[in-house]
Amino acid sequence: MLALQSENVCKSFAHGKKIIAALENVSLEIREGEIVGLLGPNGAGKTTFISAICGLLELDSGSIAVFGKDVSRERSQVINEINLVTGFAGLLNGLSVEDLLRYYAMLYSIPDKKQRIEDALIQTGLSEKRGQIANTLSSGYRQRFYISKALLTHPRLLLMDEPTVGLDVESARQIRVLVQKQKKQGTTILLTTHYMHEAEQLCDRIAIINSGRIEAFGTVRELKKMADRPSGSLEEVFLALTKSRWEGDFVEARS
Ligand SMILES: Nc1ncnc2c1ncn2[C@@H]1O[C@H](COP(=O)(O)OP(=O)(O)OP(=O)(O)O)[C@@H](O)[C@H]1O
Ligand SMILES: [Mg+2]
């Protein structure tokens, strides 16, 4: 069964008198158990697509199904299958890591709360920080907190919006290890990242999105073929497929 099936998804936003097409006929199929990377320049539509999968946006047209269930018509069932990791959310003031996880476990109506919280703390290496006030965590630990919060629900599809943004080398590496562990446990993962090495290391397949359109989707090797750069780096391929306006500078930087 497909973990995700998006068909011709369109979503526009009004910016004053201007209409911005954030997603234009986005069709994407993710198989159960794979890690798919969604790569694109700033403003390409990555976060919008992730919000659409979570049912947080009303689509202009098209449809999204998660494990065969339609996101807009069967949202309550879809919510049980997915969770989202985003560093762009705030944290409630004044609660410890453990208390905040307990709070989310309650919101999620999770059974066996104690065990799930324990598991989530262990899996993310957060046990030693359980007593610390969550919004005083450093970026790396804060990111681990967001992941542990998402793991509470045992999501079958885990959505991660820039999971390693702003993290130091070691923290980012630990998050990638965590992502790989989740995959081994059978979780399907869709992640966005601006780090090409991360995408190359983690993802079974990569979708390149630009100005709301999927420009290419495939393995790194397939993308290289599509971009006619069989021995190029993923960065080169990315720039070629997004027809980067920086290509001139980039060529200079290489030579
Ligand atoms: N709530 C909103 N209201 C109006 N415009 C929006 C809204 N959300 C997104 N947009 C616009 O939709 C487009 C896509 O934005 P989105 O946040 O999805 O990009 P992104 O690929 O996640 O970029 P980044 O790499 O910078 O995170 C942008 O032009 C953005 O300004
Ligand atoms: Mg974004």
- 102-119: pLDDT as tens digits: 999 999 999 899 999 999
Instruction: Tell me if 245 is assigned to some domain.
Output: no
pLDDT at 129 over 80: yes
Strand residues in 32-105 grouped as ranges (E): 35-39, 61-66, 69-70, 82-86
Structural domain includes residue 53:
yes
Q: Does residue 109 lie in a domain region?
A: yes
Residue 255: is its pLDDT beyond 50?
no
What's the predicted TM-score (pTM) here? 0.93
**Model confidence band, residue 167 (pLDDT cutoffs 50, 70, 90):** confident
pLDDT score recorded for residue 91: 74
Ligand nearest to C-alpha 49: 1
On the CB side of 183, how many CA atoms lie within 13 Å of its CA? 18
- How do residues 18-65 score in pLDDT, each as one tens digit? 999 999 999 999 999 999 999 999 999 999 999 999 999 999 999 999
Torsion of Cα atoms, 194 then 196 then 202 then 206, to 10°:
80
Using 50, 70 and 90 to split pLDDT, how confident is the model at 253?
Answer: low
Ligand 1 pocket, 20 CB below 6 A?
Answer: yes
Rounded to whole angstroms, the Cα distance separating 229 from 81 reads 38
> How many A from CA of 44 to the centre of ligand 2?
8
Question: Does a structural domain hold residue 233?
Answer: no
pLDDT band at 244 (very low <50, low <70, confident <90, very high): low
Which range marks the domain in which residue 121 is found? Answer: 2-218
What is the structure's pLDDT at 166?
A: 83
Residue 238 domain flag: no
Cα 43 to ligand 1 centroid, rounded to whole Å: 5
Residue pLDDT, tens place only, 51-103: 999 999 999 999 999 999 999 999 999 999 999 998 777 777 789 999 999 99
Please check whether residue 126 lies inside any domain of the structure. Answer: yes
Which neighbouring-strand residues pair with 29? 5
Question: Does the beta carbon of 38 lie inside 6 Å of ligand 1?
Answer: no
Place of tokens 């999927």: 214
Establish if 229 belongs to a structural domain.
Answer: no
Testing ligand 1's pocket by substitution, the residue of 18, 26, 38, 46 carrying the most ligand atoms inside 8 A of its CB is 46
- The radius of gyration of the chain's CA atoms, rounded to the nearest angstrom, is 19
Residue 224 within any structural domain of the chain: no
The per-residue pLDDT for 229 is 93
Domain of residue 178, CATH code: 3.40.50.300
Q: How confident is the model at residue 13 (pLDDT cuts 50, 70, 90)?
A: very high
Measure 49 CA to ligand 2 centroid, in angstroms. Answer: 9
In ligand 1, the atom with minimum distance to the C-alpha of 49 is 18
Q: Is 176 in the pocket of ligand 1 (CB under 6 A)?
A: no
H helical segments located in 13-81: 46-53, 75-81
Residue closest by Cα to atom 25 of ligand 1 = 42
- Residue whose Cα lies nearest atom 19 of ligand 1: it is 43
Report the number of distinct structural domains present in the chain.
1
* pLDDT one-digit tens code per residue, 177-234: 999 999 999 999 999 999 999 999 999 999 999 999 999 999 999 999 999 999 999 9
Nearest ligand to the C-alpha atom of residue 19: 1
Please tell me the predicted confidence (pLDDT) of residue 186: 96
Ligand 1 neighbour 91 (Cβ under 6 A): no
Protein residue with its CA nearest to atom 24 in ligand 1: 42
